[in-house]
Structure 1
């Protein structure tokens, strides 16, 4: 899945984009109704993905058929230069939509800090929405430092690690290891048998400081080691030092065993150069076309991140690759409430989430995804999605800080990348990273 990195627009860039943005709230009176019609009009910007746009258009049409006083216009967020930039430009031009999806928690922090978002928990019916969708556990880590909820997660991909099970079996393993010690033991056996032909973790991103790449290495391991500690909450560094040093020490130990390969290799996991890597559910469509030899529980297995020795693997947490929906404060009160009512209606029926799951392959953000009968046929047809469904409640979303891009870069430049390269000791890396983060948070 392609990651979009939010950017803060300069005044010149905003000015240059205003003419390209739709005027979502124009032509309406103070009640939020289209002039003279008594109809509340909602402008909904869907993700710039044809499948998601089509889904929301179907939902809007079905809702309008039951609610003649509401009109929902669904269109895709413009991606020039990014969807986040288009939203910021629309806000600056006072032409923002009523609501939009495709919002990650970090970008929501940027928007909420400027009072651009409605705290969803202040709208009537919000608690009923959570109950109707069975998502009270899944949404808990989304709570912002000020106690409010600004984003309703639509989907949540609990990032899992894939293991080349066929290669592990050659080493005498019937299942993947679950603890750091077991992973290191496997790494030694792998290197003894294959030398420089195979590595535990072959991925050039390990040495790349780009901010979003930490979501798929450091954060996955850290969430598991810290029992889901948020690392940064609002403007405060809350990192678990013991867990953080354990993660960096584990990575350093893999380096010392020559188990890491941080240079460019074509599809290292798929081609067997590496036996361990992060995998999201969007991967399987590509594999079906390009690597049909990769079969779940035959050639590869999926697990939650390994945990430090002595920790319970069954309690492992992981990073949530996830985005959600927001309602903008610039909308009228009538539009805000109508938007919430629409969303509540969509999620009051699990069949609507099942349609989303089937059309997008993105796991709905629900506590009961693995047990609700509405999803059974999908999971039976695609059993590789089952571990994602089971772990939706165990996935931790990105930090709620407007500067998350800069902060995550620091994790790489001060600690993770340096440990991968053998340039710094784990404890020293943690200390340097912590100091740089706390300075940046002031």
Structure 2
């Protein structure tokens, strides 16, 4: 899920060297013999599963492990929460360096997976027997496709996918004569002019301090949402190559610059600007609704706010809009024995062979499972009926694009802000110059 602060995934040089050394051998404590856990006693294979440091997710996996063991006495699944000191990513890398990595873990985004796969710490899941059975039985063929890495392998099985949407204040739109949110750039600019004419500096289209903040992860929730929509889901960076579409990038920056010129952006700290009506339009993830229910119970879906996919340039069909996927998944570590790897696949295959398990996940975590059939599978009907605000997220899981597969994703996304997006928001550079500078800097960083 979205973090309140930036997660650093870089270790010190000493730790990084340790990781590379540990991973290059392809060995673990089970193979070296030192501090080796009893992984195959009495014909039982023991696997270690590190769940995300989130109580609801840990509880889900503990239940799955217990139920699985009831039907498979040959596998023992030990579920524990991954350490967060100083971050979960650093904890995983430290465990790899110490040759004490688990068999498998969740809570892995595609960028961090690129770091691990670069050092040969992960098993390419598509090389394991049974993996394609998981993809088929879980009905996730479309959803998992954008997760394919530049080397054509799949290193991560996505567990959940938050197809990031934009929230609109319906009450404000209605006051301006709109019955529904605009969908294209020109329509939004027209709305912004009406908004400013009526409210002046009391209301803005997009009020969010993060627009001017270069912190890497913040680009997932502004630039990437707009870019994915404008480019039909182009991956921007694939492996070590910049593959961005110039026209789409320029369209996004020009749109943001046009909003700035109309005084439609407020890029400074304001307490909950969207919730308090200062902002009209903002990114919204499904985790938001729990907070709103507690702090802003007056906000009602399709009454005073609604949700849409990102807007698109005028020459793009809004029906083709794509968006950023705030998403994490599951990996199997290369240090696990072949027996443990096979047991891990069997466990996951069992979990995802029945949609009721994904339904239990959805109900407990409010994180949409990474499936193509959330709105057509009856297992999820009651959840979506009880929480209609989750329906547009469920509908767009197949239209959401995960983070880049490059180990330098933090540095690369910082460049987007520093060289282009943040500067355009502040009026410090033209869209053309910003895109050119950003592209040059990213291509240099990728060498």
TM-score with structure 2 length normalisation? 0.95
Q: Name the structure 1 match of 2:257.
A: 252
**Cα displacement (A) at 1:6:** 3.6
Q: Name the structure 1 match of 2:7.
A: 5
Match of residue 417, structure 1, among 419, 422, 425: 422
**Cα displacement (A) at 1:16:** 12
3-state SS of the aligned residue for 1:358? helix
**Alpha-carbon displacement from aligned partner over 1:228-250 (angstroms, at most 9, x marks no partner):** 00000000000000000000000
CA distance in 2, matches of 1:225, 1:32: 50
Contact 1:156–1:362 at 8 Å: present in 2 too?
yes
**Cα displacement (A) at 1:310:** 2.0
CA distance in 1, matches of 2:11, 2:397: 33
**Cα displacement (A) at 1:109:** 0.1
CA distance in 2, matches of 1:134, 1:183: 36
CA distance in 2, matches of 1:262, 1:32: 52
CA distance in 1, matches of 2:117, 2:14: 23
Q: Name the structure 2 match of 1:210.
A: 215
3-state SS of the aligned residue for 1:400? coil
Match of residue 351, structure 2, among 346, 350, 369: 346
Q: Name the structure 1 match of 2:275.
A: 270
Give structure 1 stretches of 5+ with no counterpart. Answer: 18-23
Contact 1:29–1:35 at 8 Å: present in 2 too?
no
Match of residue 303, structure 1, among 290, 299, 308: 308
1:293 and 2:271 are equivalent in the alignment: no
3-state SS of the aligned residue for 2:244? coil
**Cα displacement (A) at 1:33:** 6.5
Contact 1:145–1:234 at 8 Å: present in 2 too?
yes
Runs of 4+ that moved beyond 6 A: 13-17, 27-33
1:155 and 2:160 are equivalent in the alignment: yes
Q: Name the structure 2 match of 1:314.
A: 319
Q: Name the structure 1 match of 2:386.
A: 381
Q: Name the structure 2 match of 1:226.
A: 231
1:61 and 2:66 are equivalent in the alignment: yes
Contact 2:15–2:97 at 8 Å: present in 1 too?
no
3-state SS of the aligned residue for 2:316? coil
Q: Report 1:113-192 matches (<5 A).
A: 113-192=118-197
Contact 2:9–2:112 at 8 Å: present in 1 too?
no
1:334 and 2:339 are equivalent in the alignment: yes
1:437 and 2:442 are equivalent in the alignment: yes
3-state SS of the aligned residue for 2:133? helix
Contact 2:310–2:322 at 8 Å: present in 1 too?
yes
Query: What do you get for the CA RMSD once the two structures are aligned?
Result: 1.9
CA distance in 2, matches of 1:308, 1:81: 41
Q: Flag the 1:25–1:129 CA change in 2: closer, same or farther, 3 A.
A: same
Contact 1:41–1:71 at 8 Å: present in 2 too?
yes
3-state SS of the aligned residue for 1:340? helix
TM-score with structure 1 length normalisation? 0.96
CA distance in 2, matches of 1:243, 1:200: 21
CA distance in 2, matches of 1:359, 1:253: 42
CA distance in 1, matches of 2:41, 2:428: 68
